[in-house]
A and B are shown apart, each in its own frame.
Chain A
Amino acid sequence: MAYPTRLCFPECCVFDKSTILTWMMLMPILGGIFILLIPNPQARIARTVAMAFCVATFLLSLLAARLFDWSMVGEYGKSIQFAQDYIWIRSLNVHYFVGVDGLSMPFVLLTTFISVLACWASYGINKSVKGYFALLLFLLAGMIGVFVSLDLLLFYIFFEVSLFPMYFLIGIWGGPRKEYAAIKFFLYTLLGSIGILIVILGLWHHTHGVGGRVATFDLIQLATDPALSGLFRSGGAAVGFASLAFWLLFIGFAVKIPSVPLHTWLPDAHVEAPTPISMILAAVLLKMGGYGLLRISYPLFPQQAAENWWWVALIGVFSIIYGALVAMAQKDFKRLVAYSSVSHMGFVVLGIAVMTPAGTAGAMFQMLAHGISSAMMFFIVGIIYDRAHHREIPRLGGLWSQMPAYTGWAVVGFFASMGLPGLCGFIGEIMVLMGTFGAADANSHLMLMTGGAALRPLLWFGVLTAASIILTAAYLLWTLQRVYMGAPKPEYHHFPGLSGSEKWILVTLGVTAIVMGVLPMLVLDPIRPAIESVLRLVGT
């Protein structure tokens, strides 16, 4: 194995290449504790400290990306870098095993990047700043932990632990129905994650004693060790468990993504959450679902994934269309953006379900692109809400003449979300479509698995998805028209222009969206080897 670099106490605290991930998680935790220790900090001090730690974490992730060997290709798990693995709970064989590969590194970058912007966007928060920024930093640590853990129990712990800060951030700093939204968010995710825990412990149980092995939570070993992964393929000892496990995992991650019909927590959580928290929720937390599918479900249960592809793809397509239609009916601007997230994340599910290189790469790209565009959209909504103190689309209008610079960047955000060629949304959607139609090729994995029966559903899914892009354009353009165009309204005359921080956050996100749209290979080339390694496990 390439990864077991076992480190124990003092070595693990030395800062070097192998401990960079641990430091990346420690940095925000230290920052949070530091803020909590300041007695009665002024808002200015708390947010400066928080920003400093966010930026430091971001710089660490940039350093990691710089040190990361992007050209490293290999089997799933062989290209793990910055690995750190030492035993934590001996009787359960739980390891503190962290590491990144091409699949997780982009998400780590996205997380730290969005966190800096969200922290910056939090400068307007005045209510108990100390708690707010400490929770924000703890949330950041938890999110990084989810993306870097390679031990399943460790993954689960981070997955759960990242819920608490979110619960409090929505519940304390949220809007009028914050308590309802916070507990709904929490219970939905908990419902899904208990299923994940059951699967994780089941995997652990089934690997006990196989060929003299110790029961393990090691994701890489579970996915690549033929004796272990064979358990869950046809003829294996645990194949009955595997089909249940695939669905339990899928439900757990589908809540997070969120896929229809498990999406109903999302609009409530978004509407009540403060703007920066919405940005993080849409940009990072939803990605944990898609990442979980790619990282855990598909590598561990490829056969079940292929057998159930139709249902998974159907859920994806249904989410795309349903999300778009419901978004169209919304009067609350933020709710509309929330439903558009449901629709966009449907592409991710579809792209993963079809199991083609283009589809999976498209799903991956779509997640990253949505991370940028949804954060931007929520920020755009937040700017209006700060000024108008409401988000009702029918009451808005004519903002273009009052706030031209803002509207300019808002248009970039809208088009990025809509998938206009040249912007980030386009690449992900078109690649998922190409992947879907590509899966209809006679030699594709799905066609071979199903003996050609997948052809007709695949074409239908492709056509429906392509058609749904019209719906996306319809609700977004219609919103653009109602909010920004039309005669200027007198009650909005006093609106100040963009503040410095608002402008720079919009510019940063907008430029990223453009760069990703124009130069997609900047993202696609580095993630390709990792995606291929996942698909090789799947069997294509």
Chain B
Amino acid sequence: MEMPNLLPSYQQIEPFLPEVALIAATLAVLLIPVFSPRKNILAVAITTTVGLAVALIGLIYTRSLAMTGHTYFGGMLVLDPFAWFVKLLLIIFTGLVMALWFVDSHRRMVSRGQSGDAPEFFTLLLAATTGMMLMTGTTNLLMMFLALEMSSLPSYVLAGFRKTHRPGAEAALKYVLFGAASSAIMLYGMSLLFGLFGTLDLAAMHPHNLMDANRIVLVVGVVGLLVGIGFKIAMVPVHFWCPDVFEGTSIDITTWLSVASKAAGLALLMRVLTLLMHGGDSGDAWMRWLPIALLILGGITCFWGNLGAYPQQNIKRLLAFSSIVHSGYMLVALAAVIMPGEIVDGGETAQMIKGPAADALLFYLFMYVFMNAGAFMTAAAIAQRIATPTSSGERLDDYAGLARRAPILAGAMLLFCLSLTGMPLTIGFATKIKLFSVLYNTGQGIGWIGVGVVGINTVMGAFYYFRIIKQMYLVQTDLPRVIEIAPATVLSLVLAVPNVAFFLGYNWIDEVAHRHCAISLSLPAEQLPQSAQADVSHR
């Protein structure tokens, strides 16, 4: 009697080499303390680096596969250009965070005689990154939930990683409670959707398959899904964890949460929206309300983030609110342009859709990595240089006269502030141009509202970014100059360069984003609804 082959074949595993590499690295890092002395940082560093490097190589290796778009494991996992690009950002960025940990947190802990707990830290970091990478490529609700949890659970622990730090512990608790609540809501929404459609695959959730035309249940189901994902990207009203966690954790985790977690969440949201809206392509207005709801949520997120940033005195908290605002910008853009785009042929198994929303989102995410991570990393470098036994070096008051005390770091911070504001000659300006132009391209009222929201919020944002600049350049101090030469400074300067260079390289980023914006519809062509097939043949 032949046993059914439950083990996946190499052909099925091959597209997920990066994830496999990361899981292997996670386990290896976890086992290091068993075999070697507790403080063997070097082994941890090498294992993590090798893991990330193999993941990167594996990712590059799977590019040609990704460019045509495939589904695996009965539709559980998807690999398409969009997922591939976000994974690339995630791996590169995790590498940066690793570097930041070594130049900042680790040094600090070592100087205090603590071990730094490197093996635990990297186990959690790599596990969460694997979860995020899975988030970028799935259309199955169950897989979506698993991936979200896989990235969230290690994040909760990471948020409370500084065990003796009271605010950190409080923030972690808040994070866990909010996360649990929003996960529960999401599960509820998912179960409703399952009940309505009789399937867990989002790609099959189409008006034709609707078993019960109860609109309210449908709306509640989709909103539940949005809440779960919105929690990841700190969308108002499920953003409350964000400032506390960002303030309470060490700055490497803050950086990582503000970029990686958000990128993965937005990628997932993008996929969910594309699939849901694509169902609307059939002429049924079943999801017409979704862009409007998103626009409202995005607008509120922008305003809330900006207003919340005004009274902040802690740089990490301020940047946390700033990252909420940027989430809001991306939501506004998604809301306005989440219309079905051009359907492209994706090889033998799947059709892919290339929409302006995915294009803009990838462009924005790419730029955002450098702006936001740069700002956080510079804040880390500054805190490291100016911290005293009585102050953490993270309060805005500590920044007084920084231009004299640390001209290089102040200059880098100035650049990142200008970039986050969206001033010309920085990549922040490039994102503003991209935002406004995709909003215009909708040619609809909703696009105009988006233009207004982004315009007003840009001015509102300038106020608090310039508070940082004011502290650094306009306020005088008698404190002495600090020594700036440090690995952390180098890291922040490395991130400063792309902030100008990529504005001049606008073409290139734009092209790359456009080439990778195709999202797999994940069902083989014969399973596509009739209308969509007609659409394809029409093109």
One of B31-39, B182-190, B458-466, B521-529 contacting the partner: B458-466
Query: Please, what's the 1-or-0 string for A111-153, where 1 marks a CB less than 8 Å from any CB in chain B?
Result: 0000000000000000000000000000000000000000001
Q: In whole Å, how far is B450's beta carbon from the nearest beta carbon of chain A?
A: 11
- Number of A residues contacting the other chain (C-beta, 8 Å)? 30
Query: Please, what's the 1-or-0 string for A177-188, where 1 marks a CB less than 8 Å from any CB in chain B?
Result: 011001100110
A171 adjacent to B462 (CB under 8 Å): no
A201 adjacent to B436 (CB under 8 Å): yes
Q: Indicate if B511 sits at the interface (CB-CB under 8 A).
A: yes
Q: Which of B418, B433, B474 contacts A201 (CB 8 A)?
A: B433
Q: Which of B418, B423, B425, B466 contacts A183 (CB 8 A)?
A: B466
B459 adjacent to A92 (CB under 8 Å): no
Q: Indicate if A205 sits at the interface (CB-CB under 8 A).
A: yes
Query: Please, what's the 1-or-0 string for B403-443, where 1 marks a CB less than 8 Å from any CB in chain A?
Result: 00000000000000010000111000100110011001100
Query: Please, what's the 1-or-0 string for B152-179, where 1 marks a CB less than 8 Å from any CB in chain A?
Result: 0000000000000000000000000000
- Residue in A closest to B404 when the chains form the complex, CB atoms: A128
Q: How far is B433's CA from A92's CA once the two chains are assembled, in angstroms?
A: 9
Q: Indicate if A477 sits at the interface (CB-CB under 8 A).
A: no
Q: How far is B509's CA from A90's CA once the two chains are assembled, in angstroms?
A: 12
Query: Please, what's the 1-or-0 string for B309-348, where 1 marks a CB less than 8 Å from any CB in chain A?
Result: 0000000000000000000000000000000000000000
B455 adjacent to A156 (CB under 8 Å): no
Q: Which residues of A contact B511 (CB under 8 A)?
A: 91
A204 adjacent to B437 (CB under 8 Å): yes
A171 adjacent to B473 (CB under 8 Å): yes
B507 adjacent to A187 (CB under 8 Å): no
Q: How far is B418's CA from A77's CA once the two chains are assembled, in angstroms?
A: 34
- Whether A190 contacts B474 in the complex (CB less than 8 A), given A89-B507, A91-B506, comes out as no
Mostly helix, strand, loop or mixed at chain A's interface? helix
Residue in B418, B424, B475 with the greatest tally of chain A CB atoms within 10 Å? B424
One of A21-29, A192-200, A379-387 contacting the partner: A192-200
A198 adjacent to B463 (CB under 8 Å): no
Q: Which of A157, A171, A197 contacts B436 (CB 8 A)?
A: A197
A186 adjacent to B506 (CB under 8 Å): no
Q: Which residues of A contact B437 (CB under 8 A)?
A: 92, 201, 204-205
B474 adjacent to A205 (CB under 8 Å): no
Q: In whole Å, how far is B247's beta carbon from the nearest beta carbon of chain A?
A: 25
Q: Indicate if B470 sits at the interface (CB-CB under 8 A).
A: yes
A157 adjacent to B424 (CB under 8 Å): yes
- Whether A160 contacts B424 in the complex (CB less than 8 A), given A91-B506, A171-B470, comes out as yes
Q: Which residues of A contact B451 (CB under 8 A)?
A: 198
B459 adjacent to A194 (CB under 8 Å): yes
- Residue in A closest to B456 when the chains form the complex, CB atoms: A194
Q: Which residues of B contact A30 (CB under 8 A)?
A: none
B433 adjacent to A178 (CB under 8 Å): no
Q: Indicate if A191 sits at the interface (CB-CB under 8 A).
A: yes
Interface residue ranges of A58-105 to B (CB < 8 Å): 89-92
Residue in B463, B470, B504 with the greatest tally of chain A CB atoms within 10 Å? B470
Q: Indicate if B484 sits at the interface (CB-CB under 8 A).
A: no
Q: How far is B441's CA from A178's CA once the two chains are assembled, in angstroms?
A: 42
Q: In whole Å, how far is A170's beta carbon from the nearest beta carbon of chain B?
A: 9
B474 adjacent to A187 (CB under 8 Å): no
- Whether A168 contacts B473 in the complex (CB less than 8 A), given A201-B436, A202-B440, A205-B437, comes out as yes
Q: In whole Å, how far is B203's beta carbon from the nearest beta carbon of chain A?
A: 31
Q: How far is B459's CA from A167's CA once the two chains are assembled, in angstroms?
A: 15
- Residue in B closest to A89 when the chains form the complex, CB atoms: B506
A91 adjacent to B473 (CB under 8 Å): no
- Residue in A closest to B441 when the chains form the complex, CB atoms: A205
Q: Indicate if B510 sits at the interface (CB-CB under 8 A).
A: yes
Q: How far is B432's CA from A336's CA once the two chains are assembled, in angstroms?
A: 39
Q: Which of B458, B462, B474 contacts A182 (CB 8 A)?
A: B474
- Residue in B closest to A202 when the chains form the complex, CB atoms: B440
- Whether A187 contacts B510 in the complex (CB less than 8 A), given A179-B474, A182-B474, A205-B440, comes out as no
Interface residues of A (CB under 8 A from B): 89-92, 153, 156-157, 160-161, 164, 167-168, 171-172, 178-179, 182-183, 186-187, 190-191, 194-195, 197-198, 201-202, 204-205
Interface residues of B (CB under 8 A from A): 418, 423-425, 429, 432-433, 436-437, 440-441, 451, 455-456, 458-459, 462-463, 466, 470, 473-475, 504, 506-507, 510-511
